[in-house]
Amino acid sequence: MTDSLRAGDWVEVKSAEQILATLDADGRRDALPFMPEMLQYCGKRFRVFKSAHKGCDTIQDWRTMRGMNDAVYLEGLRCDGGAHGGCQAACLVTWKTAWLTKLAGPDAPLPEPKPFESDGDCTLESLEKSTQAPPERGEPRYRCQATDHLLATTPLHWWELGPYVQDLSSGNVELLAFVGYLLIALYNMIQRRIGRGHPYLEVTGLAKSKTPNEQLNLRPGELVEVRPADEIMPTINAERKNRGLTFDVEMLPYCGKRFRVLRRVEKIINERNGAMMNMPNDCIVLEGVTCGGCLSQYRMFCPRAIYPYWREIWLRRVE
């Protein structure tokens, strides 16, 4: 798996006409959908955030990483859900390198355009229709990059060294961070093997029965502080959940720090079946707080930067 683009490179998103020429009749390239929400970025310039050569599996097997060829994430470009029923998951959008033109810098002239011919039958109308899957029991079903993640990727095995080499060569991970987190992973592996050790930054739920609740009625823009870990552990059960929502080990580095509330999440698409789910309990997203993919046993250096969801009981309002 090799990408010509690295983290920090500048690109310009190709025109809609050029991108449609790369898609099949269902609006996909190599099984990855080009979503209508991405059209607004055509003709604009962005920096590459990270290579998308691998990513965690949030659909079928969370212990498995998935590989993808010739794809990147661009800085700050997340799906706004406009063509998918207003989904608020705000996933990072995946871009095939065929949809981008590499630039020498932010103000560099475009290279001489190459002639292109359409090898697909995709139109703007069919692109809009491609977001819909057959409804079930009268309820709409959606298709997007998240629901089709398994189709557009292949499984990676933990012993494959290539993806880790590409983590470095693509600029996704700096050398010192790479070495540091690998040492943590090795330490945690030894601790788990001896059976009586404790991994570094371990999440241990202490709630014995029904998990507690606290309503803060937080709104976007409010300043909050993530509670210390020792205050959060009594609010989650042995499965690390509070009323069904998991407190993940990747959330621990944010404990004790302050952030602005980005939004309340009320509905997201279920990646497994494409159905729209209404969130029954408080679910908060914080500005700049994403999964780092550095401390998880099975998601080492995952670049998807998914927003973790926070219960209000894990936060405190800062006046």
Q: Mean of the pLDDT values across residues 273-282? A: 96
Q: How many residues does the chain have?
A: 319
| β-strand pairing of 267-269 with 276-278 | antiparallel
Q: Which pLDDT does position 208 carry in this prediction? A: 87
Query: Would you say 141 and 132 are in contact if contact means Cβ atoms under 8 Å apart?
Result: yes
Provide CB contacts within 8 A for 186, sequence distance 6+: none
Name the pLDDT band for 171 (thresholds 50, 70, 90). very high
Q: Which residue has the higher pLDDT, 226 or 121?
A: 226
pLDDT digits (tens, 9 = 90+) for 226-252: 999 999 999 999 999 999 999 999 999
| pTM of the predicted protein model | 0.93
Q: Which pLDDT does position 131 carry in this prediction? A: 97
pLDDT over 90 percentage in the chain = 84
Q: Which pLDDT does position 2 carry in this prediction? A: 38
Q: Mean of the pLDDT values across residues 117-138? A: 87
- Please state the domain extents for the chain: 10-156, 203-317
Q: Which pLDDT does position 138 carry in this prediction? A: 87
Provide CB contacts within 8 A for 307, sequence distance 6+: 89, 90, 262, 285, 289, 290, 291
Counting Cβ atoms within 10 Å, is residue 165 exposed (0-12), middle (13-18) or buried (19+)? exposed
- 232 three-state secondary structure: helix
Phi and psi angles of residue 193, each rounded to the nearest 5 degrees, phi first: -70, -35
Query: Would you say 58 and 271 are in contact if contact means Cβ atoms under 8 Å apart?
Result: yes
Type of residue at 163: P
Does pLDDT of 120 surpass 70? no
Q: Which pLDDT does position 198 carry in this prediction? A: 79
| Range of lowest pLDDT (66-70, 103-107, 120-124, 303-307) | 120-124
Q: Mean of the pLDDT values across residues 46-65? A: 95
CATH class of 203-317: mainly beta
Of 99, 54, 45, 122, the closest CA to residue 77 belongs to: 45
Q: Which pLDDT does position 265 carry in this prediction? A: 98
Does pLDDT of 119 surpass 70? no
- 131 three-state secondary structure: coil
Does pLDDT of 1 surpass 50? no
